Homo-oligomer: A and B are copies of this chain.
Amino acid sequence: MELNATTMQHPQTCLEITMEVHQVVPPPHKSTIHKLKSRLKETFFPDDPLRQFKGQPTRKKWILAAQYIFPILQWGPNYSFKLFKSDIVAGLTIASLAIPQGISYAKLASLQPIVGLYSSFVPPLVYAVLGSSRDLAVGPVSIASLILGSMLRQEVSPANDPVLFLQLAFTTTFFAGFFQASLGFLRLGFIIDFLSKATLIGFMAGAAIIVSLQQLKSLLGITHFTKQMGLVPVLSSVFHNTKEWSWQTILMGFCFLVFLLVARHVSMRRPNLFWISAGAPLVSVILSTLVVFAFKAEHHGISIIGKLQQGLNPPSWNMLQFHGSHLGLSIKAGLVTGIISLTEGIAVGRTFAALKNYKVDGNKEMMAIGLMNMVGSSTSCYVTTGAFSRSAVNHNAGAKTAVSNIVMSITVMVTLLFLMPLFQYTPNVVLGAIIVSAVVGLIDIPAAYQIWKIDKFDFIVMLCAFFGVIFISVQDGLAIAVGISIFKILLQITRPKTVMLGNIPGTDIYRNLHHYKESMKIPGFLILSVEAPINFANSTYLNERILRWVEDYEAEEDLKKQSSLRFVILEMSAVSAIDTSGVSLIKELKKAMEKKGVELVLVNPLGEVMEKLQKSDEAGDFMGPDSLFLTVGEAVTTLSSTIKGQSSNHVV
């Protein structure tokens, strides 16, 4: 009102000001339904998967829909012999890796070795039809195998009750697939985003160590080994059973481990020599089997796989158990393994898609992986996903399409049908060495260093995941890391930054006074920028913090005897949302400032924020044209002239 009086007496000044001041207008009106609709779309369909259907004739729409569900229809018709040549090389390469790894990972999950091969046969076929990644090599993976085995062993012993254990493994696989497909179908894929990169790096490294520790059993030839997973019980079990150590086993394990690690190292240095590390596991298996066979080493302390079944996957839908006392365990294990393996599969798919510049639809990929596991659970397969190491080999070997998965699958089929007896004399110690050399790649020291350099808090999250996995348990370590990550976000929201802005001389630009040293305070103005949405979790804090800025300003003035504070400008450009508590905060601040004889001015409230402020301000107390500006510069210019107007008034 004071201001109005002033402008009345100085029409000319006022006119000049109005010329250069831009009005802050409310955003165009949208109905609640419309807003809800666009909010839902952004939440669940951010990638706009139906965009390609727009404006197409009906027949084309049907074709597109079929191609959307079965990506094979998209690339299949254009498939050429040239592509096939590339795919067959890649497929044979990953098969040579998949067979020994399949056997090894199944043992990691306390399942019979053949289940690992079953799982390398059916799921890749399903994925080839449904999946949209061209590089993903599908099959069992180490971490999901580890978690599946360790969670089920808590309730059922695979040695005493092998049938029940197998039933639970298949049931868990079914639930894992069901959760995966549901996440994709309900478009909740963003849930896996809560596993941040830092969490995953710590988790993977921890899991790699846990997996490697488990291999000490076969690498040292120990027969009585702990059933626990943690670092402490495993090491104590190892050193309490030193008399069970077998030097033959240790020697053999050491040789093959060195061979595998050297092969890995060579391929890492020279990506075009990828076939060295890709072929090494199979070579190890063949060599070690020959050695055992030739020297009858199984009678000299080296344990071997033993007789294996032959033939293709038997049906297993009759083994799924949807009732009984272990149902809760299956569901829980399904959820954990499902999410972990989904995270790995999606991350791998996205990585290679970005390299080759094509797109992977996260939610659709989840449905593909989920369906693959549901089919797998009915055909004697356990949890599978896109494995990082094998996909990298696939990519380096020149895979062009999912046909490489089909080639691998057929190779595994041939193995299942005819070559199983050859594995009878394969020593367990070589399987252990294969696992260790595979999981070593999960420990990513350079990435950890990078995280340390960029963000200390992320580094702490990583350490929590790492030590949680090693000392507590795989699931708890993961849960702790995710909890801390979310806590960090909530803390950021609870304590948003407020920053004092100053004018960069000679411009209309206002920036953080503590960042841009050349920027200057404007006498009589306190310009604050709030850098977060304002909501219930931070409105109390913001209230206290802003009042403290004002008090600090006043205290400093007392010292300098400057002109007193007239205006507090809140720059709202970074306030992306507000809720009822936030609206109350603005009202309370306005009142508190009025009591001090200071005027609160808002600058550039964004669409939604402005709408809510206006709805709550029927009397026009704080959203009138005198206290709302489009830029800080315009606010300062306009309000300065009213001060001058008033003081010249006093002089008159």
Contacts and interface: CB of A to CB of B under 8 A. Distances in A.
A326 B415 CA distance: 61
A64 interface: no
Interface stretch (A94-102, A303-311, A486-494): A486-494
A606 interface: yes
Interface in A566-612: 573-574, 576-577, 579-581, 583-584, 588, 591-592, 595, 604, 606-607, 612
Contacts of A539: 193
Report the copy number of this chain in the oligomer.
Answer: 2
B576 A531 contact: yes
A48 interface: yes
A496 interface: yes
B489 A537 contact: yes
A354 to B, nearest CB: 7
A496 B591 CA distance: 31
B450 A616 contact: yes
Contacts of A516: 25
A122 B399 CA distance: 79
A194 interface: yes
Nearest to A197: B581
Contacts of A584: 197
A487 to B, nearest CB: 11
Given A46-B495, A354-B588, A517 B193 contact: no
Interface string A515-543: 11100000000000001110111111100
B495 A490 contact: no
A108 to B, nearest CB: 28
Interface in A191-206: 193-199
A489 B507 CA distance: 37
| Chain A: interface size category | 35 or more
Contacts of A607: 512, 514-515
B576 A497 contact: yes
A580 B450 contact: yes
Nearest to A516: B25
A400 to B, nearest CB: 19
B531 A574 contact: yes
A499 to B, nearest CB: 8
Interface in A601-635: 604, 606-607, 612, 615-616, 630-631
A59 interface: no
A243 interface: no
A511 B630 contact: yes
A520 to B, nearest CB: 14
A405 interface: no
Interface string A323-343: 000000000000000000000
B574 A194 contact: no
Contacts of A497: 576
A616 B46 CA distance: 28
Nearest to A532: B576
B489 A493 contact: yes
A190 B577 contact: no
A508 B511 contact: no
Contacts of A190: 494-495, 537, 540-541
A43 interface: yes
Query: What are the nearest 6 A-B pairs in CB distance?
Result: A196-B536, A531-B576, A574-B574, A27-B515, A515-B607, A47-B544
Given A42-B495, A515-B606, 7 more contacts: A190-B494, A350-B540, A454-B580, A454-B612, A499-B606, A512-B607, A515-B607
12 contacts: A190-B541, A197-B536, A197-B581, A350-B540, A357-B595, A454-B579, A492-B533, A492-B577, A496-B576, A508-B508, A515-B607, A531-B576
